[in-house]
A = this chain, B = another copy of it.
Amino acid sequence: MIAATIENGEVTPREHPIPEPGSGEVLVKVAAAGLNGADLMQRAGRYPAPPGAPPDIPGLELAGEVAALGLGATRFAIGDRVMGIVGGGGQAEFAPVHERILMAVPERLDWSCAGGVPETFTTAHDALFTQAALQAGERLLVHGGAGGVGTAAVGLAVAAGARVHATVRDATLMDGVAALGATAITHEGFVEHGPFDVILELVGAPNLSANLDALAHRGRIVAIGMGAGSRAEWDMHVLMFKRATISGSTLRSRPLEEKALTARRMERSVLPLLESGAVTVPVAATFPLAQVAEAYERFAAGGKLGKIVLVMH
């Protein structure tokens, strides 16, 4: 099979043996696989794949058809449309995935959308609802509202009745973010639009210190993206008097059991919204697997609304 392959800081399509599904696993014939910030970090050698994932094939999410069943795998049948997060290896023609991680693809989603759902929507849902406990009526600020996780977060929060602001660095994308239901603002002076009950940080420094000023009493900051730098200085007195919380999270390093739990939460709370069309999956561009290097460059260039997705066939 062909798979995106990282070598010496570059990503190219290369031939690999088709993997065998292990016990409880499903072999997925991948139709589409989204790109994520972690892929760029892995290409740069700064984010090695966790144990169990192929060391040189990137890709944290995929969608495709069930091609074979490993020992004891019973949740899906050959030919079912499935999608899920993986620790790596998603950007390939075939990938083995534990069946507890997989979700059925909503009928409404075509392959390019489905390939961009698992990582971004799981990350956004986990951060906003499992961690920050965002409630209807609360005021949310999403820093980096135009990206994959950002557009997912805006969509989910609007559907949950939150009042959403989103910062967007590229002014040409503000209308697109506003169309998802957020008040799109620039990064400069975002504090004046507050206070916010929840701030989802997808950019990193230089927002970090000002986030605490923009936070409401009992507010929560959740940091899940730090591409623009990660050092922050805070006055802990402000944290105390606001009775505020700052937390950080990643999805990739979690054990199977925790990843499976996030898949169950997705099935319960997110897939119905994608099925009904209440929440959409913006795809900025698709690239065939043969052009994986160009896809990475497009992702790294920024200035896109939603996902960059590789399509395999």
Any chain B CB within 8 A of the CB of A270? Answer: no
Q: Which of B204, B208, B246 makes the CB contact (< 8 A) with A245?
A: B246
Q: A238 contacts which chain B residues (CB < 8 A)?
A: 248
Q: Are A247 and B244 in contact (CB under 8 A)?
A: yes
Q: Are B247 and A236 in contact (CB under 8 A)?
A: no
Copies of this chain present: 2
Smallest beta-carbon distance A153→chain B, Å:
16
Q: Are A231 and B235 in contact (CB under 8 A)?
A: yes
Stretch at the interface among A79-87, A133-141, A180-188, A222-230: A222-230
Q: Are A239 and B223 in contact (CB under 8 A)?
A: yes
Q: A230 contacts which chain B residues (CB < 8 A)?
A: 235-237
Q: Which of B223, B240, B253 makes the CB contact (< 8 A) with A223?
A: B240
- Once the chains are docked, how many angstroms separate the CA of A241 from the CA of B239? 22
Q: Are A226 and B208 in contact (CB under 8 A)?
A: no
Q: Are B243 and A246 in contact (CB under 8 A)?
A: no
Identity of the chain B residue whose Cβ is nearest the Cβ of A233 in the assembled complex: B233
Please classify how large the interface on chain A is, using the bins under 10, 10 to 19, 20 to 34, 35 or more: 20 to 34
Any chain B CB within 8 A of the CB of A234? Answer: yes
Q: A253 contacts which chain B residues (CB < 8 A)?
A: 241
Q: Are B239 and A246 in contact (CB under 8 A)?
A: yes
Any chain B CB within 8 A of the CB of A276? Answer: no
Q: A246 contacts which chain B residues (CB < 8 A)?
A: 239, 245-247
Given known pairs A241-B250, A246-B247, A248-B242, the reply for A233 and B231 (CB within 8 Å) is yes
- Once the chains are docked, how many angstroms separate the CA of A289 from the CA of B13? 81
Any chain B CB within 8 A of the CB of A23? Answer: no
Given known pairs A245-B247, A247-B244, the reply for A226 and B236 (CB within 8 Å) is yes
- Once the chains are docked, how many angstroms separate the CA of A238 from the CA of B247? 11
Q: 3 smallest A-B Cβ distances: which pairs?
A: A239-B248, A240-B248, A245-B247
